[in-house]
Each structure stands twice: as structure tokens, then as C-alpha cells.
Amino acid sequence: MATYNKRGYKAPKEKEVKEEVVNEEQQVILDGKNSKTAEVFSKLDETASKTEDWVAKNQKIIIGLVAGIAVATIGYLAYQKFVEAPKQDEAASEMFVAQQNFDKATNGVASDSLYKLALNGSEGKFGFVKIADEYSGTDAGNLANYYAGIASLNIGKFDDAIKYLGKFKSKEAIVNALAIGAIGDAYSQKNQQKEALDYYVKAAESNKNDFTTPRFLLKAGKTALALGQKEDALKYLTDIKENYDATPEAASVDVLIGLAQ
């Protein structure tokens, strides 16, 4: 039986059919993407809304925290300017007379009595002991600990020397090494040679330089010899010979090395 097409009707070509199918598939994909995008934006909106709600509910806390930080910062700066700085100046003024007595004692003029004046005060001014206590936390108070320790060491108050020097801290490497080594001297005077050796080694190693390092290596070498620790003594003394041969300490080191071998 014959089949006739309706007038004006044309069967679609295969290519056109494929294009329609592809277009429909693309539209489905696009619709899917649009749906996912809309979902993401929806979640973002929801999260933002929750964040805004949280901020609104906790606004007082946030403002309080920010204000607290600001107050702490302003307070610290004010303390530095109106409390700390005047305290530093006051301590430095108090220290002037004690410093003069210390310098005279170091030059050998009535040393013991001057060291005592430097420690205990004179002319209505504090000595290093009082300054270290009254102005602790200031640079002047810290420095007073060093002077008090050295003065105590020179008048035979070795426990006080250890106490004050132990409190002293300095960013100046050489001064710090001298303070550590002086603690070693105090222990040595107390005939506690093991403790003295520990501090001499610590002082020598705290900063490598041509002044303090050979000085305390030599003391460490001699102390190690006195303790019968020849191997350690040889190590310290050889270090002077090999690395600090131009220093005064190197002049007598060969004899000591002979004793350590």
C-alpha cells in the first residue's frame, strides 16, 4: 500500500535531527548547572545571613574585645612614658654617687670601704643593693645587680656576689660573659671548684671574642687541672693556643699544656 506525504511536509534531515537532540542535551546540562549555581548562591546567602546574625548578637562582646586591646595598648604606652621613663631617670640619678664610689674603689683608693659605700649608699643616695631592689625591672636596676655583684666579690661576700650577678642580664655579649665568669670566681673563692669550672666554661662559650674567651678558657684550664681533669684541661688550653695565640693568655699556655698532657 503506497504512503503519501502531506502536501508541504518535508522529512527532517538526519543532521537536523542530531542538532536538535544535542541542543536539548545542552539545555539540560545548562539547566542543571544553573540549578547547582543557584544552590551554591543560596547557601552563601544563608551563611552570610548567619554570620550577620552572629555579629549582631555578639556585637557587644566584639566591641568589648576591640576596646580592651586598645586600652591595653594605650595603657602600655602611657606606662612607658609616665611611669617607666621617670623611674629610669630617678634610678640613674640615685646611682650616680654609688657609681663614683665604685670607680674610686676599682682604682685602688681605700677599696673595701668604698665598695661598701657603693653597696650601701652615701650622701643621702641609695647604694647598688637598694637600687637593684627599688628599681628592679629597669635598666638601672639591672645594672645595679652587676655592680653589687662585683663589689660583693671584691669585699669577700661571695654568696651575695653569686646572688646579684645571677640576676643580671645583658644584651652586651662581653659584659654578660664577664658577669658569668665573675660567678665562677665567687665559687672558686668558696673553694667550690666544680661549680667554678662550669661557670668559666659557660662564660668562655657565651660569646667568642679575643677578650673574654681566652680569659675564661685559661681559668677553666687551671680549674680543670686542679680537679684532676687533665683531658678537659688540655682541651681548654689547646683552644687558646690554636685560636687565640695573639692574646696575653697564650703566653703561658704551653707550660700548662705540658702539665695537662
Q: Which CATH class is domain 170-261?
A: mainly alpha
Task: Provide, rounded to the nearest whole percent, the portion of the chain with pLDDT above 70.
Answer: 65
The length of the chain, given as a count of residues: 261
Name 125's bridge partners.
122
Question: What is the spatial distance between Cα 161 and Cα 156, in angstroms, rounded to a whole number?
Answer: 9
pLDDT score for 122: 82
Query: Which DSSP category does 110 fall into?
Result: S
Residue 115, pLDDT above cutoff 70: yes
Cell of 253: 699556655
Report residue 42's pLDDT band, with 50, 70 and 90 as the boundaries.
low
Q: Tell whether the model's pLDDT for residue 229 goes beyond 50.
A: yes
Residue 259: pLDDT band (50, 70, 90) is very high
Residue 147 clears pLDDT 60, i.e. is over it: yes
- 58/236 Cα distance (integer angstroms): 65
Average pLDDT over residues 83-91: 63
Q: How confident is the model at residue 2 (pLDDT cuts 50, 70, 90)?
A: very low
Whether 173 has a pLDDT exceeding 80, the answer reads: yes
pLDDT band at 60 (very low <50, low <70, confident <90, very high): low
Task: Mean pLDDT check: name the lowest of 22-31, 105-114, 196-205, 223-232.
Answer: 22-31
Residue keyed to cell 677578650 = 211
CA dist 172 and 169 (Å) reads 9
Mean pLDDT of 65-71: 51
Q: How confident is the model at residue 125, as a pLDDT? A: 83
- 34 versus 107: the higher-pLDDT residue is 107
Dihedral sign computed on CA atoms, order 12, 16, 19, 23: negative
Residue 97: per-residue pLDDT: 87
What does the block give as the cell for 73?
595598648
- Rounded CA-CA distance 210/245 in Å is 10
The DSSP secondary-structure symbol of 245 reads T
Cβ atoms of 112 and 155 closer than 8 Å: yes
pLDDT for the residue 8: 45
Tell me the domain boundaries of the chain: 170-261
Q: Which residue has the higher pLDDT, 73 or 63?
A: 63
